[in-house]
Amino acid sequence: MNFSWKKILLWSLPLLVVFFFIWQGLLTTNNSDVSQNISSSRMTYGRFLEYLNMGWVKKVDLYDSGHTAIVEALGPDLGNRVQKIRVELPASAPDLINKLKQSNVDFDAHPNRNNSAIWGLIGNLFFPLALVLLISFLFRRSNNTPGGPGQAMSFGKSKASVQMEAKTGVEFSDVAGVEEAKEEFQEVVTFLKKPEAFTAVGASIPKGVLLVGPPGTGKTLLAKAIAGEAGVPFFSISGSEFVEMFVGVGASRVRDLFKKAKENAPCIIFIDEIDAVGRQRGTGIGGGNDEREQTLNQLLTEMDGFEGNTGIIVIAATNRADILDAALLRPGRFDRQVTVDIPDFNGRLAILNVHSRNKLLNSQVSLKAIARRTPGFSGADLANLLNESAILAARERKDSITILEIDKAIDRVIAGMEGLPLVDGKTKRLIAYHEVGHAIVGTLLKHHDPVQKVTLIPRGQARGLTWFTPSEDQTLISRAQILARIVGALGGRAAEEVVFGEAEVTTGAGNDLQQVTSMARQMVTRFGMSDIGPISLENQSSDPFLGRSMASGLEYSDGVATNVDLQVESIVQNCYQQALQLIIKNRVIIDRLVDILIEKETIEGEEFRHIISEYTKLPQKELYISHC
């Protein structure tokens, strides 16, 4: 694998420089032998002469061209043991040698060993040489790239962006809730393991499979699982990494990727976010993007370039198959599509099962209950949820994860971090009325999702929150349900108006109103749920490159447009009146609920319904899901 070699080489450059400086440092500190012979004790020159006169000096070694001496002396002062003592000699100590001779002292002069100079020379020659060699080596390698010469350094190489995993360690059992996709891929795995069975009868397996699905649904995981099950290497690159500033880089990366894959066949090539390169060509404002088109062309060429049975399978992932270039989807390329969707109840349960394997859950925690509370969660959301609750449990020093942590983690995943509780005061009271307004309207409407809890503890952007237990199927919603949601969303503002008067209503309802308007408009323009009739007035497959507002040019007359606005207005007005009526009629209950909410900060759905049922009859909700 030459890419890891290159990494090592690149890293060794700074290391070499560092070593060079350390080397120089060593040379300067190391240039005197005295330092090695050092004795800890020293004495003055005068003292030394005294010792000499007393005849206590036995041996003298001179260093540093006679500037330093290590003296071996023996005397009563020194505990009658021979000791080595260091003496700095004055620059002119003329008769010292004579004196030593006279006193019959054994003396010896040590010239400066000038090894250090030689070493310094070698070092100074060696390091620049090594540097030059290294750099030239790097250049030579990059010129070998298929991108050809003239490319600076290593841009053309796929750097670290091509990742190879010899063993992914992921198995099909790690991917849950996507049974159909797994079945599709079983065949691919068999092919990678035993290609003979297919080639014998002349069958060729698809070269490319396209995984389509929203983020976090396990596309990457699934691709890894295929490699893991088949026991083949896994090459991955992300489409956005192909698209670079420099023209031609992307194309050369594609070449490089396929070259490496061929050397390692059988294997899996995984191209994430293929829409980054694979969009329809020749689109977009200001013409096409040359770099992207070149890359895409290269990809198409490479996919045509290898035979069906070389054992390379290209798996690509995207969350928008509709914008891909048609050429990519032709037979012989990504002709198989596998959809991976947001999991349903059973899927979520299966995913929770996989991810709770290594977590210590309290025996009272029911995965079913969690799965029921999390419609719309992707696999990644669920994995994140369990991890968050494990972190919370660890923080509280519990020995297992309880339903409390799970609840907190769900809230956090949906609505963001919890803030500090509000201080008592008018604002808090107003927010309490607003939330209770949502909650009571939601509870009293037959078709509204049931309240799960009302809380005054801020979270994310919201200062208070009313949680509803969503029904399982969020894709098929009836007209009555949408209307109920609109009334419920207006309940907050309605309560503010009834309790505090028209002049006192706040900006707190801004978000609610946005949702209300969007729901009402869609009823009219998309779902044919207004007096205009069953007509779709919105172009759904708008051009992805122009941005929504530019693309969805009006395809109907001004008269119809006015009518749409009128319809939207009438829906919203009707719903608001309904909300006002409900608030006015139940004012007594609302006042009581607000008092409780301000005192307790949170009211659970069960308790909420219980209090209301003391005053009025609750509607029988068909979608009712018991609180977990």
Q: Which residues are catalytic?
A: 435
Q: Which is nearer to ligand ADP, 49 or 380 (CB)?
A: 380
- DSSP H helical segments within 194-269, as ranges? 195-200, 219-230, 239-242, 249-263
Q: Which does 492 bind (CB under 5 to 8 A by kind): Mg ion, ligand ADP, Zn ion, none?
A: Zn ion
Structure tokens at 281: 């060509």
Query: At closest approach, how far in Å is the CB of 274 from Mg ion?
Result: 11
Q: Which is nearer to Mg ion, 31 or 319 (CB)?
A: 319
Tell me the residue type at 555: E
Q: What angle do CA 334, 335, 339 make, to 5 degrees?
A: 85
Stretch that binds Mg ion, among 91-99, 213-221, 419-427, 476-484 (CB under 5 A): 213-221
Asked if residues 583 and 590 have their Cβ atoms less than 8 Å apart, the reply is yes
**Closest residue to Zn ion, Cβ-based?**
492
Residues that bind ligand ADP (CB under 6 A): 175-178, 213, 215-221, 317, 351, 354, 379-380, 383
Give the span between the Cα atoms of 68 and 36, in whole angstroms.
13
Q: Which is nearer to Mg ion, 182 or 372 (CB)?
A: 182
Give the span between the Cα atoms of 164 and 2, in whole angstroms.
12
217 is in an annotated binding site: yes
Query: At closest approach, how far in Å is the CB of 509 from Zn ion?
Result: 6
What Rg do the C-alpha atoms of the chain give, in angstroms?
40
216 is in an annotated binding site: yes
Q: What are phi and psi of 318, to 5 degrees?
A: -155, 160
Does 512 participate in binding Zn ion (rule CB under 5 A)?
yes
Q: Which is nearer to Zn ion, 311 or 458 (CB)?
A: 458
Q: Which does 372 bind (CB under 5 to 8 A by kind): Zn ion, Mg ion, ligand ADP, none?
A: none
Place of tokens 């609840």: 407
Among 248, 278, 458, 492, binds Zn ion (CB under 5 A): 492
Q: What are phi and psi of 249, to 5 degrees?
A: -70, -45
The bridge status of strand 106-109 relative to strand 163-165 is unpaired
219 is in an annotated binding site: yes
Q: Which does 221 bind (CB under 5 to 8 A by kind): ligand ADP, Zn ion, Mg ion, none?
A: ligand ADP
Does 238 participate in binding Mg ion (rule CB under 5 A)?
no
Query: At closest approach, how far in Å is the CB of 401 from Mg ion?
Result: 27
DSSP 427-461: HHHHHHHHHHHHHHHHHHSTTSPPEEEEE-S-BTT
Q: Which does 442 bind (CB under 5 to 8 A by kind): Mg ion, Zn ion, ligand ADP, none?
A: none
Query: At closest approach, how far in Å is the CB of 209 from ligand ADP?
Result: 14
DSSP 388-406: HHHHHHHHTT-SSB-HHHH
Residues in the chain: 628
Does 318 participate in binding Mg ion (rule CB under 5 A)?
no
Q: Which does 175 bind (CB under 5 to 8 A by kind): ligand ADP, Zn ion, Mg ion, none?
A: ligand ADP
Does 241 participate in binding Zn ion (rule CB under 5 A)?
no
Neighbouring residues of 11: CB distance < 8 A, sequence distance ≥ 6: none
Structure tokens at 403: 């339903």
Stretch that binds Mg ion, among 75-83, 137-145, 215-223, 606-614 (CB under 5 A): 215-223
Q: Which does 512 bind (CB under 5 to 8 A by kind): Zn ion, ligand ADP, Mg ion, none?
A: Zn ion
Stretch that binds Mg ion, among 44-52, 212-220, 336-344, 453-461 (CB under 5 A): 212-220
Q: Which does 351 bind (CB under 5 to 8 A by kind): ligand ADP, Mg ion, Zn ion, none?
A: ligand ADP
Does 217 participate in binding Mg ion (rule CB under 5 A)?
no
Does 236 participate in binding Mg ion (rule CB under 5 A)?
no
Give the span between the Cα atoms of 142 and 153, in whole angstroms.
6
Q: Which of 572, 579, 239, 584 is nearest to 443 (CA)?
A: 579
Q: Which is nearer to Mg ion, 220 or 471 (CB)?
A: 220
Q: Which of 358, 360, 348, 277 is nearest to 316 (CA)?
A: 277
Give the span between the Cα atoms of 150 and 142, in whole angstroms.
10
Stretch that binds Zn ion, among 128-136, 225-233, 504-512, 517-525 (CB under 5 A): 504-512
Give the span between the Cα atoms of 237 and 109, in whole angstroms.
70
Asked if residues 398 and 359 have their Cβ atoms less than 8 Å apart, the reply is no
Stretch that binds Mg ion, among 25-33, 219-227, 448-456, 506-514 (CB under 5 A): 219-227
Number of Cβ atoms within 10 Å of the Cβ of 510:
9
Does 220 participate in binding Mg ion (rule CB under 5 A)?
yes
Q: Interface with Mg ion by CB under 5 A: which residues?
A: 220
Q: Output the known binding site for Zn(2+).
A: 434, 438, 512
Q: Interface with Zn ion by CB under 5 A: which residues?
A: 492, 512
Q: Output the known binding site for ATP.
A: 213-220
